[in-house]
Homo-oligomer: A and B are copies of this chain.
Amino acid sequence: MQLLKEKILSEGRVVGEEILKVDSFLNHQLDVELLQAIGQEFHRRFGHKKITKILTIEASGIGIAAIAATYFKVPVVFAKKVQSRNLDKETFKTQVYSFTKQTNYDVQVSKRYMNSSDQILILDDFLANGRAALGLIDLVEQAGASVAGVGIVIEKSFQEGGQLLREKNIHLESLAVVNRFVNGQVTFLG
């Protein structure tokens, strides 16, 4: 997706060898016009499937999923990361390891909002080690629902997430695939 790649090149900031900061447009400040183009692109790639719901994970997936959902015309469910007093007792639950925060955390979705008739599209901002995506897939499977696909804004090709999902025969679409960062420069694989 050309518009996204140009945005990454002009505003992305590489930190060290593995971190790409895109908080000016994707996960702290949101460029809403870009998110609309991203939502349309996801719809172009997955719109032929009978998606009944979009699943993402708080917090940075929510803006992406909400705007994409305006093109799919389906509800969004966002998985919650922390036990909250207001969350239903009856949840699908899985554990995800965060390399960024170097800790395990619980991820939950109320059983009210996914069931065996659902065709779920999973959307998220980044695919790196794949732990969040695999956790979300686990939740969908616990519900007996189907994973219609996984849509990712930025995949890091040098981490294992993409490979892990493709090995599971998941329909994965990444709008930008970044290669290892050399001298602070981003290059793209696809």
Contact = CB atoms under 8 A, between A and B. Distances in A.
A7 interface: no
Given A30-B66, A58-B59, A100 B86 contact: yes
A168 to B, nearest CB: 26
Interface in A109-151: 109-110, 112-113
A162 to B, nearest CB: 20
A29 B115 CA distance: 13
Chain A interface size, as a band, is 35 or more
A101 B69 CA distance: 30
Q: How many copies does the complex hold?
A: 2
Interface of A: 19, 21, 23-25, 28-33, 35-36, 58-59, 62-63, 65-67, 69-70, 73-78, 80, 84-88, 100-101, 109-110, 112-113
13 contacts: A23-B86, A28-B80, A29-B112, A30-B69, A30-B75, A32-B66, A35-B66, A58-B58, A58-B62, A59-B59, A59-B62, A62-B66, A63-B66
